Amino acid sequence: MLLKFQIKNMGSLFYLPLLFCAFYIIFLLLIPAELEGILFLILQIAVLPFSFWWPVFNIYDLYQNNVEEIFATYIGKNLLFDYLRFTSLFLILILFLFFITNIKVGQPFPLHLVFLLIGQTFIISSFVLLITIYLKSIEIASMSAILYVFSEAVTTGEIFPWPHIFIFSLDSHNLNVLWIQMIIYLFISAIFLFASIKYAKTIERNII
Amino acid sequence: MIKVRNISKKYKNRYSLKNINLNIEGIYGLIGPNGAGKTTLMRVIAGLIKVDEGEVLFRNSYDSSIKSLRESIAYLPQDFNIYPRVTIEECLNHIAIVKGLSKSFDRKRKVQEVLEIVNLVEHKYKKIKDLSGGMRKRVGIAQMFLTEPKILIIDEPTNGLDISERFRFRNLIRSISKDRTVIITSHIAEDVEFLCNKIGILKNGEILKEGTSEEIANYAKGMVWEITAKPNEISNILHHYTVLNIEKQPFDNLKLRIFSKSQPKYAKPVEPKLIDGYLSILEGDGVFDVT
């Protein structure tokens, strides 16, 4: 019932990640199976970044309609559950797309990549959620995420001096360490989430 | 009873609240110009922001950090405009879940109860985006009663409402204030006069005066005048004095209410209202007297 309310409240915005998933499936049908590296790359940079979309737009009213005074006292537990609900839902989508990509390619991807996708989903969604809550701006947070993904895609994760979470070449990467990477990402995501809850409960920001 | 004791709050080395002392009970009105610090003070009282100095005492015990106390304070921000795509009932039901009413049966009963309080039962299937400003404010009041609040904090309750909605909403606030402490901010003196038994005047983060409506009005004693004039004399009077009100009279006459430190020619003194006292305190005696 809660999810039904949240979907109704988000309106058409809820369907944007689903739309990109649909685009990916169409792309999957059109591109030759031999280009499996490109398929996995597109999954990472064109679909996976939308992991932030639902958790962030779920709190749209909090900051865009200035009602944080009403919810600040109660938001902690709800924010955590809403985040986990939407991120789990998104993760199911991503793993489904990964699964059908495997079918298309014929030769299965290493299972380690599942760890990578899980870690990426959590780190992106939790980071953008934190930025949204801290700056009280969905626009700034979303644009930061889009700029990061775009610059990483253009530079293939090499030029800018910030952490690179996408893998651009499956051959040159040691896939055996991906589960460690996932653990690190999940740990950092937990910190981001904890900070998000803390900031959501307070309406003062020293920088604003 | 809420006692605000020596509250000070700084933002970037500038006081947004400076040594505030208030005794709040019944329906308390905070009035002041934009940027005076009204919303900051309300947030402090609600325990939503920390202060640099001072404390807020609830019934003589300092326990504003206790969770249950924070939950007994309900807040209605100035622009209540959430969840535009859902119905009133769905909106309240969701806020009830967020506020911790987990049992479906209790929640439904509570939502129905608060809809009755604000007289919105027959509109409960209307979407929030289709409501008038006044109805949206009533939904805002309804969400306050989903818990059992002892203290209601309402920021600019009549802001943005048309005249009839404003009167209806004022009456609603009066009816829900029984056995509760209500704090409202407003820049409409007439609303504060109607609603509040005690008023604090805030300017630049400082409380200038605190008292009943009559006590505040008395600060303008001897500064409010009435004069009868013809329409062609109006521009000259407006040029020399601050005219608070113009009322039509028989035989093409106009009755003017004037704020002036000195007695204008042919004017007779009248009893000041809250707005007169407020202007007098806010700007200093005679500041409107342009003679």
Mean pLDDT to the nearest integer, B161-190: 85
Mean pLDDT to the nearest integer, B18-46: 90
Nearest 10 degrees: Cα torsion A173, A128, A197, A62 = -160
Q: Locate the domains of chain B by residue range.
A: 2-211, 218-288
Share of chain A above pLDDT 70, in %: 97
- Residue that wins the pLDDT comparison between A108 and B52: B52
Condensed to tens digits (0 to 9), the pLDDT of residues B239-286 reads 888 888 888 888 888 899 988 888 888 889 999 989 889 888 887 633
Query: How far does A196 lie from chain B, in Å, by closest CA?
Result: 16
**pLDDT score, position B249:** 86
pLDDT tier, B94 (very low <50, low <70, confident <90, very high otherwise)? very high
Please give the helix or strand (H or E) that residue B98 lies within, else none.
Answer: helix B88-98
Centroid of chain to Cα A176: 23
Condensed to tens digits (0 to 9), the pLDDT of residues B69-91 reads 777 889 998 888 889 999 999 99
Mean pLDDT to the nearest integer, B206-221: 91
Tokens matching residue B174: 């009066």
Report yes or no: B98 at the A interface, CB cutoff 8 Å. yes
**pLDDT score, position B139:** 92
Is the pLDDT at A114 greater than 60, yes or no? yes
Is the pLDDT at A154 greater than 80, yes or no? yes
- B39/B77 Cα distance (integer angstroms): 9
Condensed to tens digits (0 to 9), the pLDDT of residues A15-26 reads 999 999 999 999
Condensed to tens digits (0 to 9), the pLDDT of residues A45-86 reads 999 999 999 999 999 888 888 788 888 888 888 899 999 999
Is the pLDDT at A193 greater than 90, yes or no? yes
Report yes or no: B85 at the A interface, CB cutoff 8 Å. yes
- Tell me which residue in A2, A61, A202 faces B83 most closely, judged by beta carbons: A61
Report helix, strand and coil shares of chain B as percent, to nearest 5: 35, 30, 35
- Tell me which residue in A9, A74, A202 faces B100 most closely, judged by beta carbons: A74
| Mean pLDDT, chain B, whole residue set | 86
Q: Which chain A residue has the Cα nearest residue B90?
A: A5
The DSSP secondary-structure symbol of A50 reads: G
Q: Which of B51, B18, B3, B7 is nearest to B151 (CA)?
A: B3
Q: Considering only the top CATH level, what class is B2-211?
A: alpha beta
Give the three-class secondary structure for B14. strand
Mean pLDDT to the nearest integer, B202-207: 91
Is the pLDDT at A104 greater than 70, yes or no? yes
**Residue A135 near residue A144 (C-beta atoms within 8 A):** no
- B282/B278 Cα distance (integer angstroms): 6
**Residue A130 near residue A199 (C-beta atoms within 8 A):** yes
- Residue that wins the pLDDT comparison between B30 and B161: B30
Q: Of A38-47, A83-92, B101-110, which one has max mean pLDDT?
A: A83-92
Cβ-based contacts of B75 with chain A (< 8 Å)? 69-70
Contact A9 B85 (CB under 8 A): yes
Residues 45-84 of A with CB under 8 A from B: 61, 65-67, 69-75, 78
**pLDDT score, position A24:** 94
| Mean pLDDT, chain A, whole residue set | 89
Contact A67 B97 (CB under 8 A): no
Mean pLDDT to the nearest integer, A180-191: 94
**Number of neighbouring beta carbons within 10 Å of residue B12:** 6
Report yes or no: A177 at the B interface, CB cutoff 8 Å. no
* Sign of the alpha-carbon dihedral angle for A134, B93, B137, B48: negative
- B20/A192 Cα distance (integer angstroms): 37
Angle, to 10 degrees, between the axis of helix B104-117 and the axis of helix B133-144?
130
pLDDT tier, B288 (very low <50, low <70, confident <90, very high otherwise)? very low
pTM tops 0.95, yes or no: no
Contact B80 A75 (CB under 8 A): no
**pLDDT score, position B90:** 94
Q: Of A57-61, A83-87, B130-134, B216-220, which one has max mean pLDDT?
A: A83-87
Q: Which chain A residue has the Cα nearest residue B74?
A: A70
Cβ-based contacts of A71 with chain B (< 8 Å)? 98
pLDDT tier, B64 (very low <50, low <70, confident <90, very high otherwise)? very low
- Tell me which residue in B67, B82, B86 faces A67 most closely, judged by beta carbons: B82
Looking at residue B251, its amino acid is F
